[in-house]
């Protein structure tokens, strides 16, 4: 008996240490309130899944479908009052959790998700999936114990608008890519997909009454290399790169998103950023240049140190031409009929007005309207566009430049991207605001050192994204709808490159937009973030590991070059060399600013955790170190 008892104890111990370790402390975004208790619920092939009415059926069926491949369990949800895993729409609404909140209770015998709406059940289901081992993300069957920790959760979002933007003009993402993007963002409780459908580099939405928009505007000549350095189209060169979404494609994507509680906001960027439209219909511009082509990423603008710029190719619609507004009437009639959401985004950013100043029609309009400066033409244009949208039952949404000219109504919503200043101004004028400043939310920026990541003109570390506070001091929070992260695609050639840029920063922003401000804790989040690296690995999702790398800055002290290093994670150790050897744990450990001796020095730095290398090796020659000190 003693031998048998010892054997049973041994097998029990082995089962515990070899089974996947799970914890409720791995959730992103962090819930409002969570209480752990002893024990686990084990999901098995005989577990029952139920729902209490037709409204709760969708979440139950999506859960069963989500776990089918990795677990191998073919669970069929049934309408009933009680099941091992139960999805319930509350008979008496809980005002505290609102329209997107949920209640989740896990014991050793039951899992119950309750909510006021199907949206709340969907988010409760996403939390339940995160409570399962990371192998739940795999695309093949895995033979493990599917344990869920016993926990009680009350959860609801801080902001109504929790968005991610995808630019499909600079790079055309297929219909399936767009669905994947939406699927992945919905897992982290984002509820708004901002779809940047038109720009200088491609018109991506079918407008049946204006067929040239996609026959011409959706295609450009094939070019490689970084945007801004590509060569102009050659005479007669065929435009073979691009694509567009048919209206049937768009309806399919809208339905896919709706099933995941994601509202799609389409963007038709106006009056600037319209080169693709002008290539299709040159008469929409002031110069009516029939040689205009969809731009493949050439250097077509000059940017100056004071923030102004000059366009070398006309890319703005003519605000003085009534035919332009007839064109927009056709565009927005079809766009509004497709998209059921409240808003249509109309851009409004970076509109160069130099060609307007030279146009007799624009000058005449300014005189007629008693305009004192050309910027007022954009206000006039946006006012006309807003009237068109209102006639379609839609609200205008635009970048913060739409405030210029003062012609938009209080109903218009402002997306603040040039810092938070535009959002503060808009809120003071009682406009609703979506905060998406470059300094925290531009996900096309580098996440790590410029020598490791492909070089971009700006950088944004995940810790900085996590530190974002969407409601500035002194601003009435009732006007801040929420925020979003933006992915511009000039240098994004495929979906995996998009994922590398989005994650983990989008995870950080999901917590900024969903979780209580008071619960924000970088060290706590970063630990949970690393558990989601494992989940991403299991799902085959790409992400950046720049958070493990050293951060290197230089300065000058009495003409002596000094470097300083830091890390985003507190438990990393930096080792470095300046003697042309490779650094390891026996090299000097960084502890404070270091003065570099003269000569052709090369700094090499690498991070370690628990005696093992973890970050990228960063190698900086003296020229690069001097360059950084000069910034």
Q: Is residue 222 over pLDDT 70?
A: yes
Structure confidence at residue 16 (pLDDT): 37
Which residues does 365 contact at the CB level (< 8 Å), separation at least 6?
319, 320, 371, 377, 380
- Measured distance CA(473)–CA(420) in Å, rounded: 11
Q: In what order do the strands lie in the sheet with 560-566?
A: 551-557, 560-566, 594-595
Label residue 452 by pLDDT band (50, 70, 90): very high
Model confidence pLDDT, tens digit, residues 13-40: 333 333 344 566 799 999 999 999 999 9
Structure confidence at residue 422 (pLDDT): 96
Q: Average the pLDDT over 502-512 and give the result.
A: 98
Model confidence pLDDT, tens digit, residues 512-535: 999 999 999 999 999 999 999 999
Structure confidence at residue 432 (pLDDT): 98
Which residues does 552 contact at the CB level (< 8 Å), separation at least 6?
449, 563, 564, 565, 603, 605, 618, 620, 628
What is the DSSP track for 356-383? HHT-HHHHHHHHHTT-SSTHHHHHHHHH
Percentage of residues of the chain with pLDDT beyond 90: 93
523: its two tokens: 């060290």
Structure confidence at residue 307 (pLDDT): 83
How crowded is residue 431: how many other Cβ atoms within 10 Å of its Cβ?
21
Dihedral of alpha carbons 485, 489, 491, 496, sign: positive
Structure confidence at residue 22 (pLDDT): 52
- Measured distance CA(604)–CA(578) in Å, rounded: 7
Structure confidence at residue 6 (pLDDT): 41
Structure confidence at residue 7 (pLDDT): 38
How crowded is residue 551: how many other Cβ atoms within 10 Å of its Cβ?
19
Structure confidence at residue 23 (pLDDT): 63
Q: Average the pLDDT over 588-616 and give the result.
A: 97
User: 202-203 and 198-199: which strand pairing?
Assistant: antiparallel
Instruction: Give the largest Cα separation in the chain, rounded.
Output: 103
Tell me if residue 134 falls in helix, strand or coil.
Answer: helix
Q: Is residue 220 over pLDDT 70?
A: yes
Dihedral of alpha carbons 494, 415, 481, 333, sign: negative
Q: Is residue 336 over pLDDT 80?
A: yes
Domain 2-155 class? alpha beta
Model confidence pLDDT, tens digit, residues 538-584: 999 999 999 999 999 999 999 899 999 999 999 999 999 999 999 99
Model confidence pLDDT, tens digit, residues 103-115: 999 999 999 999 9
Label residue 404 by pLDDT band (50, 70, 90): confident
Model confidence pLDDT, tens digit, residues 51-104: 999 999 999 999 999 999 999 999 999 999 999 999 999 999 999 999 999 999
Residue 547: φ, ψ to 5°: -60, -20
Q: Is residue 8 over pLDDT 80?
A: no
Which residue has 């628990």 as its token pair?
A: 610
How crowded is residue 599: how many other Cβ atoms within 10 Å of its Cβ?
7
Which residue has 């240490």 as its token pair?
A: 17
Nearest by Cα to 278 from 248, 314, 304: 314
Q: Which helix (H) or strand (E) holds 142?
A: none
- Label residue 88 exposed, middle or buried (CB < 10 Å: 0-12, 13-18, 19+): buried
| Integer angstrom CA distances of residue 489 from 201, 296, 307, 445, 517 | 10, 13, 22, 11, 31
Structure confidence at residue 405 (pLDDT): 76
**Do 252 and 276 touch, CB atoms closer than 8 A?**
no
Of 3.30.70, 1.10.1760, 1.10.3470, 2.60.40, which CATH number belongs to 549-630? 2.60.40
**Do 615 and 572 touch, CB atoms closer than 8 A?**
yes
Label residue 631 by pLDDT band (50, 70, 90): confident
560 in the Ramachandran plot: left (φ > 0), alpha (ψ -120 to 50) or beta? beta
Q: What share of the chain is helix, strand, coil (3-state, %, to 5)?
A: 35, 25, 45
558: its two tokens: 């009495």
- Label residue 380 exposed, middle or buried (CB < 10 Å: 0-12, 13-18, 19+): middle
Q: Is residue 11 over pLDDT 90?
A: no
Percentage of residues of the chain with pLDDT beyond 70: 96
- Measured distance CA(574)–CA(583) in Å, rounded: 9
Which DSSP letter does residue 418 get?
S
Q: Is residue 474 over pLDDT 50?
A: yes
**Do 538 and 137 touch, CB atoms closer than 8 A?**
yes
Q: Which helix (H) or strand (E) holds 34?
A: strand 33-43
- Measured distance CA(541)–CA(592) in Å, rounded: 37
Q: Is residue 12 over pLDDT 90?
A: no
- Measured distance CA(348)–CA(113) in Å, rounded: 43
What is the DSSP track for 551-573? EEEEEEETTEEEEEEE-SSTT-E
Q: Is residue 489 over pLDDT 60?
A: yes
Which residue has 């686990």 as its token pair?
A: 40
| Mean pLDDT for the chain overall | 95
Structure confidence at residue 223 (pLDDT): 95
Catalytic residue ranges: 199, 273, 350
Nearest by Cα to 458 from 420, 488, 494, 481: 488
Model confidence pLDDT, tens digit, residues 131-189: 999 999 999 999 999 999 999 999 999 999 999 999 999 999 999 999 999 999 999 99
Least confident among 4-8, 98-102, 218-222? 4-8
Least confident among 22-31, 267-276, 379-388? 22-31
Nearest by Cα to 49 from 82, 16, 24, 23: 82
Domain boundaries, given as residue ranges, for the chain: 2-155, 161-546, 549-630
Domain 161-546 class? alpha beta
In angstroms, the first-to-last Cα distance of the chain is: 76
Nearest by Cα to 569 from 510, 524, 516: 524
Q: Is residue 4 over pLDDT 60?
A: no
pTM, rounded to two decimals:
0.95
Q: Is residue 128 over pLDDT 50?
A: yes
Tell me if residue 111 falls in helix, strand or coil.
Answer: strand
303: its two tokens: 């940017």
Nearest by Cα to 89 from 51, 62, 129: 51
Between helices 175-186 and 495-502, what is the axis angle to 10°? 20
């Amino acid at each position: 008996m003693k031998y048998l008892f010892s054997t049973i104890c041994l097998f029990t111990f082995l089962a515990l240490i070899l089974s996947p370790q799970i914890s409720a402390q791995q959730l992103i975004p962090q819930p409002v309130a969570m209480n752990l208790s002893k024990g686990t619920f084990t999901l098995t092939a005989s577990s029952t899944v139920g729902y209490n009415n037709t409204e709760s059926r969708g979440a139950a069926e999506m859960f069963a479908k989500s776990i089918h491949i990795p677990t191998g369990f073919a669970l069929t949800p049934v309408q009933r009052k009680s099941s091992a895993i139960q999805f319930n729409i509350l008979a008496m609404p809980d005002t505290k959790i609102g329209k997107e909140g949920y209640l989740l209770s896990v014991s050793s015998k039951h899992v119950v998700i309750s909510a006021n709406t199907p949206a709340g059940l969907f988010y409760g289901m996403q939390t339940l999936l995160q409570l399962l081992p990371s192998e739940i993300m795999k695309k093949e069957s895995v033979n493990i114990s599917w344990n869920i920790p016993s926990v009680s959760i009350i959860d609801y979002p801080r902001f109504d608008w929790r968005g991610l933007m995808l630019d499909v003009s600079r790079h055309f993402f297929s219909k399936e890519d767009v669905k994947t993007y939406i699927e992945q963002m919905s897992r982290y409780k984002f509820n708004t997909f901002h779809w940047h459908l038109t720009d200088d580099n491609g018109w991506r939405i079918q407008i049946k009454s204006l067929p040239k928009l996609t026959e011409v505007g959706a295609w450009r000549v094939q070019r490689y290399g970084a945007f801004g350095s590509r060569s102009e189209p050659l005479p007669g060169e065929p435009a073979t790169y691009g694509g567009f979404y048919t209206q049937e494609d768009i309806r399919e994507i809208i339905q896919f998103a709706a099933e995941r509680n994601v509202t799609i906001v389409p963007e038709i960027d106006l009056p600037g950023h319209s080169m693709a439209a002008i290539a299709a219909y040159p008469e929409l511009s002031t110069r009516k240049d029939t040689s205009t082509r969809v731009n493949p990423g050439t250097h077509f603008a000059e940017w100056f140190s004071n923030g102004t710029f000059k366009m070398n190719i006309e890319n703005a619609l003519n605000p003085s031409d009534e035919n332009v507004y007839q064109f927009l009437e056709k565009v927005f009639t079809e766009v509004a009929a497709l998209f059921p959401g409240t808003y249509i985004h109309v851009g409004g950013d970076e509109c160069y007005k130099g060609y307007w100043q030279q146009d007799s029609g624009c000058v005449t309009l300014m005189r007629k309207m008693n305009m004192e400066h050309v910027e007022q033409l954009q206000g006039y244009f946006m006012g006309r566009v807003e009237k068109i949208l209102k006639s379609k039952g839609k609200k205008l949404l635009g970048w913060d430049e739409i405030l210029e000219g003062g012609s938009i109504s209080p109903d218009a919503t402002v997306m603040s991207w040039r810092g938070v200043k535009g959002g503060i101004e808009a809120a003071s004028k009682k406009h609703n605001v979506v905060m998406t400043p470059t300094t925290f939310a531009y996900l096309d920026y580098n996440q790590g050192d410029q020598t490791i990541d492909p070089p971009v003109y700006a950088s944004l570390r995940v810790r900085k994204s996590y530190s974002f506070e969407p409601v500035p001091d002194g601003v009435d929070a009732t006007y801040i709808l929420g925020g979003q992260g933006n992915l511009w695609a000039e240098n994004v050639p495929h979906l995996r490159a998009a994922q590398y840029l989005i994650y983990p920063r989008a995870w950080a922003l999901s917590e900024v937009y969903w979780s209580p401000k008071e619960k924000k804790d970088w060290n706590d989040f970063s630990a949970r973030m690393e558990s989601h690296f494992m989940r991403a690995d299991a799902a085959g999702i790409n992400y950046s590991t720049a958070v493990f790398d050293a951060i290197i800055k230089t300065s000058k002290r009495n003409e002596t070059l000094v470097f300083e290093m830091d890390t985003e994670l507190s438990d990393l150790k930096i080792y470095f060399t300046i003697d042309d050897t490779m650094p390891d744990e026996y090299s000097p450990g960084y502890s404070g600013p270091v003065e570099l001796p003269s000569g052709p020095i090369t700094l090499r730095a690498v991070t370690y955790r628990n005696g093992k290398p973890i970050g990228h090796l960063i190698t900086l020659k003296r020229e690069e170190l001097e360059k950084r000190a000069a910034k």
